Structure 1
Amino acid sequence: MLVGITILLVFQLVGEVTAYFLGGFVPGPVIGMAMAAIVLTLTKGSAFLQPAHERTIDTSKAILANLGVLFVPAGVGIIQHLDLIRDRGFALMAIVLLSTVITLTVTVWVFILVKRLSGGYAND
Structure 2
Amino acid sequence: MIHALLVILGAQLAGEAIAQALGLPLPGPVLGLILLVAGFATIPGLLALVRPVAQGILGHLSLLFVPAGVGVVGHLDRLGASGLPLILAIVLSTVLAIAVGALVFVGVARLTGAEEDRE
What is the match of residue 31 of structure 1? 31
In 1, distance between residues paired with 2:35 and 2:79?
Answer: 39
What is the match of residue 55 of structure 2? 61
In 2, distance between residues paired with 1:96 and 1:22?
Answer: 33
The alignment status of 1:89 with 2:83, answered yes or no, reads yes
* Displacement of 1:82: 2.1
* Displacement of 1:106: 8.9
Structure 2 letter corresponding to 1:81: H
Structure 2 letter corresponding to 1:30: V
What TM-score comes out, normalization by structure 2 length? 0.70
What TM-score comes out, normalization by structure 1 length? 0.68
Q: CA RMSD in A?
A: 3.0
Structure 2 letter corresponding to 1:22: L
* Displacement of 1:80: 1.5
The C-alpha deviation readout for 1:21-70, integer Å capped at 9, x for no partner, is: 33131011000101101211333xx3xxx2x4322111111111111100
* Displacement of 1:97: 3.9
In 2, distance between residues paired with 1:82 and 1:71?
Answer: 17
What is the match of residue 14 of structure 2? 14
Percent identity (aligned) = 34
What is the match of residue 74 of structure 2? 80
What is the match of residue 117 of structure 1? none
* 5+ residue gaps, structure 1: 112-119
Tell me: higher relative CO, structure 1 or 2? Use CA pairs within 8 A at least 6 residues apart: 1
* 5+ residue gaps, structure 2: 105-110, 112-119
In 2, distance between residues paired with 1:53 and 1:65?
Answer: 17
In 1, distance between residues paired with 2:98 and 2:24?
Answer: 23
What is the match of residue 40 of structure 1? 40
